[in-house]
């Protein structure tokens, strides 16, 4: 394991409203290789209850049977709070398009949403190990709620994967794309062609979103990068990686120190 190199591919924003687009992304991944993914499912995407959508829960159970992992991805995937500064407004309304749900919740609010998500998993008999906050934004109060959650074993932010029970974090570079506008699609293609080319980290991540297969040029770009990464790395789910990595000597850091630095940077607008 210390000398091994791994790849985790995740599919964000999995919900009834996005599922058809997600299926196209999954098919595009299979065109490159039949690998396990971590599907980030949303219990009530923008207020639409996933449990009430015909066939969605059975589709998720089917994905588990195919070797994929299901992880909890927020609850509403929508940030309805009020930004506290100009920087906060840019981060929560422009950069993340108002989707950073766990950015500024109180500990009680975060705990309640986590509990509701966990109950949904339990009701369906789905194993739950991971939580990924929408837009990777996670405020200090939400961190407190996560530490008190007995079921969540790991959390991923944009730069790290955090093993909650041991209080450790491992740097895990992430490649993601943005297709919301033509200029974003152009920049994403250029970035994907260069990103992670020389990454030496034990784990790197490819974060896909529902519309990443909607634009052929963008799709071909990340498919090409995925093929290159698979030549050098073994694809595993995030839960599989965390379970294996904690038993080996890897360059883990203390999660607390990372959270404290992030809180200071947020408060200073940096």
pLDDT value of position 178: 78
Query: Does position 128 have pLDDT exceeding 50, yes or no?
Result: yes
What would the pLDDT profile of 3-47 be if each residue is shown by its tens digit? 579 999 999 999 999 999 999 999 999 999 999 999 999 999 999
What would the pLDDT profile of 157-212 be if each residue is shown by its tens digit? 999 999 998 899 999 999 998 776 676 677 767 776 666 765 788 999 999 999 99
Q: What confidence category does residue 103 fall into, taking pLDDT thresholds of 50, 70 and 90?
A: confident
Q: What confidence category does residue 1 fall into, taking pLDDT thresholds of 50, 70 and 90?
A: low
Q: In DSSP terms, which residues pair with 156 in a beta bridge? A: 161
Q: Which domain holds residue 212?
A: 6-268
CATH at 162 = 3.20.20.370
In a domain, 249, yes or no: yes
Q: What confidence category does residue 97 fall into, taking pLDDT thresholds of 50, 70 and 90?
A: low
In a domain, 240, yes or no: yes
In a domain, 1, yes or no: no
In a domain, 43, yes or no: yes
- Report how far residue 238's alpha carbon sits from residue 242's, in angstroms, rounded to the nearest whole number: 6
In a domain, 168, yes or no: yes
In a domain, 164, yes or no: yes
What would the pLDDT profile of 62-78 be if each residue is shown by its tens digit? 999 999 999 999 999 87
In the 8-state DSSP scheme, what is residue 215? Answer: S
Q: For the chain, what is the domain count?
A: 1
* Residue 188 contacts residue 194 (beta carbons within 8 Å): no
Burial state string for 239-265 with b = 16 or more CB within 10 A and e = fewer than 16: bbbbeebbeeebebeebeebbeebeee
Q: Considering only 11-25, 209-223, 240-254, which range has the smallest mean pLDDT?
A: 240-254
pLDDT value of position 183: 65
* Residue 129 contacts residue 71 (beta carbons within 8 Å): yes
In a domain, 149, yes or no: yes
Crossing angle for the helix pair 255-268 and 140-147, to the nearest 10 degrees: 160
In a domain, 72, yes or no: yes
């Amino acid at each position: 394991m210390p000398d091994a190199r791994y790849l985790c591919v995740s599919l964000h924003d999995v919900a009834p409203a996005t599922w058809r687009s997600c299926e196209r992304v999954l098919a595009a991944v299979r065109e490159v290789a039949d690998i396990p993914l971590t599907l980030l499912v949303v219990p009530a995407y923008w207020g639409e209850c996933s449990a009430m959508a015909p066939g969605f829960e059975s589709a998720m159970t089917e994905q588990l049977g195919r070797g994929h992992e299901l992880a909890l991805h927020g609850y509403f995937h929508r940030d309805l709070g009020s930004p506290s500064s100009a920087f906060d407004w840019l981060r929560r309304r422009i950069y993340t398009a108002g989707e950073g749900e766990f950015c500024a919740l109180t500990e009680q609010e975060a705990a309640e949403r986590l509990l509701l998500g966990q109950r949904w998993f339990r009701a369906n008999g789905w194993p739950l190990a991971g939580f990924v906050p929408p837009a990777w934004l996670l405020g200090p109060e939400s961190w407190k709620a996560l530490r008190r959650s007995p079921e969540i074993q790991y959390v991923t932010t944009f730069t790290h994967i955090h093993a909650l029970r041991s209080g450790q974090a491992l740097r895990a570079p992430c490649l993601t794309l943005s297709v919301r506008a033509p200029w974003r699609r152009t920049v994403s293609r250029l970035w994907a062609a260069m990103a992670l080319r020389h990454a030496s980290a034990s784990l790197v991540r490819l974060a896909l979103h529902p519309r990443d297969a909607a634009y052929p040029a963008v799709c071909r770009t990340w498919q090409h990068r995925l093929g290159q990464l698979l030549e050098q790395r073994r694809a595993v789910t995030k839960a599989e990686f965390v379970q294996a990595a904690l038993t080996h000597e890897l360059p883990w850091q203390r999660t607390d120190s990372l959270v404290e630095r992030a809180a200071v940077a947020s408060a200073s607008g940096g």
